[in-house]
Amino acid sequence: MQDILLVSGTRPEIIKIAPLYHALKAHTRANVQWLHTGQHGEMAQQILACFDIVPDIVLERRGSSLADFSIGCREQLEEVMLSRSWSLVVVQGDTESAFLGALAGFYHRVPVAHIEAGLRTYNPDRPFPEEGIRQMIGRVARFHFPPTPRAREALLKENIADKHITMSGNTVVDAQQWVMNNRGIRRRAEGRGHMLVTVHRRENWGNDVEEICHAIADIATRHPELEVLFPVHLNPVIQKPVRNILGHVANVKLTAPMDYLDMQQALADSWLVLTDSGGLQEEAPTFGVPLLVLRDETERPEAIEAGCARLVGTRRETIVEQVEALWSDADAYRAMQRAGNPFGDGKSCEYIVAALRKGLSYTPHNQAPDFA
């Protein structure tokens, strides 16, 4: 029996690996083991529960600094790697957990599969440290699953052999389909719906968060009939300015971070999304909800090119102008709504399982593949 190790650490990783876990369990005879590194704690448990996943291995988070977390995680991963003869390690994205999972596979000569491969800004400072981590995982992975043609091109330019690359779309869309099918998520709002806002990225800490909040206050004041829903990240760097600037605006509802199902429901019920989140850029088009990206650049330009999102940056006046433009121009709004989702068709896991089945059957210690 082939033993496959799925490594997760943060909220977005769990969301994007969850549908693959279910697909591998349903369509192969492999022994699929879910490992959680503990990088995100309580928030991770919530998301795992949404997808009916109980991790097989949970590492103990040692220390609060990234260095301490890394050292502890590396040590414990070493024990896990030695505990059996793994056939494959699967990592997703660009976190420390993904990097350590990939490194563990690499050192033990176990093939590494990288989901959401090939995202690039080629600016190691933005996003930091993700851009560097993505590139490093790309160097050690055997199977690369870029979500889009652009991501595939980036990998080819980095001299990764075509035969090791399978363009799969983003599994985030599979995750959405899973909750639509299994949890009944669908649009329930009547009329326009609310404006959903999230901000958490490091690049926006400080003055940019304040500018964004002032813009939201301006919009909410001009349109008292528009409800603004803002799940506020727990980081005090975000909490403080958001509560100071928006805490008393009547039609702005500040909430705790939402669990994944509530977030998908909130997304489905939105008129417009304002965010610096990567995941939401990929998710909003599934529900046909236009999105404004509160950043100066994005490693997901596909949404901008497809027309379902606009890059607006963090200047107060520009944000207000862009929201007003969509408020008053029904045609422009509809065009964004109808652009479709450039990140995937909900079949990414099917493509990934097929590619792994083919690829793994050639590795020497897997003479009799268990992929049925």
Ligand X SMILES: CC(=O)N[C@@H]1[C@@H](OP(=O)(O)OP(=O)(O)OC[C@H]2O[C@@H](n3ccc(=O)[nH]c3=O)[C@H](O)[C@@H]2O)O[C@H](CO)[C@@H](O)[C@@H]1O
What residues are labeled active site? 94, 116, 130, 200, 202, 233
Confirm or reject binding of residue 257 to ligand X (CB under 6 A). Answer: yes
Residues 361, 344: Cα–Cα separation, whole Å: 26
Tell me the CA distances in angstroms from 26 to 179, 191, 257, one per residue in order: 17, 39, 31
Give the nearest distance from C-beta 120 to ligand X in angstroms. 11
Q: Quick count: other Cβ atoms within 10 Å of Cβ 329?
A: 11
Give the nearest distance from C-beta 263 to ligand X in angstroms. 4
Give the nearest distance from C-beta 331 to ligand X in angstroms. 28
Residues 8-26 as b/e (b if ≥16 CB within 10 A, e otherwise) read bbbbbbbbbbbbbbbbbee
- From 89-97, 148-156, 157-165, 211-219, give the range in contact with ligand X by CB under 6 A: 89-97
11, 114, 150, 152: residue in contact with ligand X (rule CB under 6 A): 11
Give the nearest distance from C-beta 315 to ligand X in angstroms. 21
Confirm or reject binding of residue 283 to ligand X (CB under 6 A). Answer: yes
Confirm or reject binding of residue 359 to ligand X (CB under 6 A). Answer: no
Tell me the CA distances in angstroms from 244 to 219, 248, 342, one per residue in order: 17, 8, 37
Residues 5, 104: Cα–Cα separation, whole Å: 11
229 close to 196: Cβ distance less than 8 angstroms: yes
4, 8, 12, 103: residue in contact with ligand X (rule CB under 6 A): 12
- From 58-66, 90-98, 215-223, 325-333, give the range in contact with ligand X by CB under 6 A: 90-98
**Is residue 241 reached through a cis peptide bond, with omega within 30 degrees of 0 on the bond before it?**
no
> Which of 150, 189, 186 is closest to 301 using CA atoms?
150
Q: Which runs of E-coded beta strand occur in the chain?
A: 3-8, 31-36, 57-58, 88-92, 112-115, 143-145, 194-198, 228-231, 252-255, 270-275, 291-293, 309-311
Confirm or reject binding of residue 269 to ligand X (CB under 6 A). Answer: no
Confirm or reject binding of residue 93 to ligand X (CB under 6 A). Answer: yes
Six token digits for residue 71: 């050292």
Confirm or reject binding of residue 231 to ligand X (CB under 6 A). Answer: yes
- In the bound state with ligand X, the residue whose beta carbon lies nearer, of 12 and 369, is 12
282 close to 119: Cβ distance less than 8 angstroms: no
- Under the phi-then-psi rule, with left for phi > 0, alpha for psi from -120 to 50, and beta for the rest, what region is 186? beta
Confirm or reject binding of residue 97 to ligand X (CB under 6 A). Answer: no
Give the nearest distance from C-beta 231 to ligand X in angstroms. 4
Confirm or reject binding of residue 260 to ligand X (CB under 6 A). Answer: yes
147 close to 168: Cβ distance less than 8 angstroms: yes
- From 7-15, 57-65, 77-85, 321-329, give the range in contact with ligand X by CB under 6 A: 7-15
Residues 136-161 as b/e (b if ≥16 CB within 10 A, e otherwise) read bbbebbbbbbbbbebbbebbeeeebe
- From 8-16, 142-150, 213-221, 344-352, give the range in contact with ligand X by CB under 6 A: 8-16
Give the nearest distance from C-beta 285 to ligand X in angstroms. 13
Residues 317-336 that bind ligand X (CB under 6 A): none
Give the nearest distance from C-beta 13 to ligand X in angstroms. 6
x/- mask, ligand X, residues 173-212, rule CB under 6 A, reads -------------------------x-x------------
101, 278, 290, 369: residue in contact with ligand X (rule CB under 6 A): 278
350 close to 23: Cβ distance less than 8 angstroms: yes
Residues near ligand X (CB under 6 A) are 10-12, 15, 93-95, 127, 130, 198, 200, 231, 257-258, 260, 263, 277-280, 283
